[in-house]
Structure 1
Amino acid sequence: MAALVAAGSGLVSHLITGTLNDRTVAVGVAAFLTGLVATALADRVRAPPSPSSWPG
């Protein structure tokens, strides 16, 4: 899964570098977008709480 995220980030960075010609900005944008996607996915695929943490 981590390799897929890294590949996606690299692809976004490469595509933005091709249009903006500024690698620093492209990497910053790719990192920001990767963070947004990771946060959204973490909310969706979070493991359910363990029974030992249930009240009562």
Structure 2
Amino acid sequence: MRSRADGIARDAVRAYLMRHRKWDSPLLSYDETFDLGGPIDKDVIRTMMNRPA
């Protein structure tokens, strides 16, 4: 039987590894994407996320 601390540690390691995973192939092809006209900074993202639907 595993302790609660062991489960928490396993979950933390799994989450870390998934965040830093390197994929063998792109998730989307070039044809499935579109150009947004350049880099998007944090302020633009915040503005879009806080805009009413």
TM-score, normalization by structure 1: 0.44
Higher helix share: 1
Which entry has the higher C-alpha Rg, 1 or 2?
2
- Structure scoring higher RCO (CA < 8 A, sep ≥ 6) equals 1
